[in-house]
Amino acid sequence: MTGAGTVLVLAGRFDPTADLVIEELNRRAVPLFRVDMAEFPLRLALSAGLSRDGWHGTLSTSRRTLDLAAVRSVYYRRPTRPRFPEGMSSAARKVAEREARLGFGGLLAALPCRWLPPPGKAADAEYKPLQLRIAAESGLSVPRTLITNQPSAAERFSGAVAGAVIYKPFSHVRGVVNDHSAAVYTSIVDPEDLCRSDIATTAHLFQEWVPKAYEVRLTAVAGRIFAAEIHADSDAGHVDWRSDYESHSYAVCDPPASVAAGVLRMLQRLELPYGAFDFVVTPDGDWHFLEVNPSGQFGFVEQATGLPITAAIADYLEGKGW
């Protein structure tokens, strides 16, 4: 169903990115219902039955009720996991959580409406090995890459690259060390560290270092492309811009036609309407794909550049285009 009805927003209670989209939908007077999966089952009630016309029923909080048949689209913006009664045993909690995912989540997935992004497709797209393969097949330039748990293979890769090698985690690694928040970012590897035995403890991703003039955050929404240069004025930010947001300056840019076409081919292959892409641009002007986030943040780019990304997302959720 598109073009009428309610937008269901599945997001955590404190999410500035979701807030941007909600503010835009409110400005357009588009009906919406925001809820977090963490509210189920203690503060969110579900009841639905199946007929020849599909699923009919409601989601209800203490204040509002959503008619499931009226959902026109779903904005899936990193909701948190369901929360269960404190007294539940760990075994019962595990069963309840699985049943909630397959029952509640499965019911939402069965609604005949558009999602941004579709959670199953987004989960598949989180796999960096899959991203890199599809990026290369879509015509994008991808740095030479090794995935290994063998120190000897890492050493051979470094020798073959004959230049700097970087390490990057497969996911966002965050935690607390000595009472301080910490994160693992992309880093340039000392060649002497490639023989370390702890490489054997898990999978590691190594890539050749691509000389960069700057990086680009390219956000694609339903076939529309918004690109911004990111210039980082610090050593840490030059290696991984996410490590030092304070050092950035931004400028709107237009990607080469071949890059734009490759981005759209890649999203088509991944069956995603949205992607936040990261590219390195070399001093010679060559664009190299790093990764795509199927639910990546965009607010910081829009705030710095004025690119109308929120409006494009609202258009899609409202049922316009694509």
**pLDDT tens per residue across span 206-265:** 999 999 899 999 999 999 999 999 997 766 666 665 656 676 789 999 999 999 999 999
Per-residue pLDDT at 179: 60
Interval 281-291 mean pLDDT:
96
According to the model, what pLDDT value does residue 162 have?
A: 80
Beta strands in 68-172 (DSSP E): 71-77, 114-116, 145-148, 165-168
Q: Given a cut of 60, is residue 180 above it in pLDDT?
A: no
In the chain the first and final C-alpha atoms are separated, in Å, by 13
Q: Note the CATH number of domain 144-208.
A: 3.30.1490
Identify the sign of the CA torsion 168, 169, 171, 173.
negative
Question: Which tens digits make up the pLDDT trace of 51-69?
Answer: 998 999 999 999 999 999 9
Asked whether the whole model's pTM tops 0.95, one would answer no
Tell me which DSSP letter residue 256 carries: -
Element (H, E) at 249: strand 248-253
Q: How confident is the model at residue 2 (pLDDT cuts 50, 70, 90)?
A: very low
The answer to whether 316 and 235 have CB atoms below 8 angstroms apart is no
Looking at this protein, which amino acid is placed at residue 305?
T
Give CATH 3.40.50 domain extents, the chain.
6-116
C-alpha to C-alpha distance for 37 and 246, rounded to whole angstroms: 33
Instruction: Cite the residue boundaries of each domain of the chain with CATH code 3.30.1490.
Output: 144-208
Q: In the predicted model, what is the mean pLDDT of residues 101-112? A: 93
Architecture per CATH, domain 6-116, reads as 3-Layer(aba) Sandwich (3.40)
Average pLDDT over residues 64-76: 95
Fold of 123-128+211-318: D-amino Acid Aminotransferase; Chain A, domain 1 (3.30.470)
Where does CATH 3.30.470.20 sit in the chain? 123-128+211-318
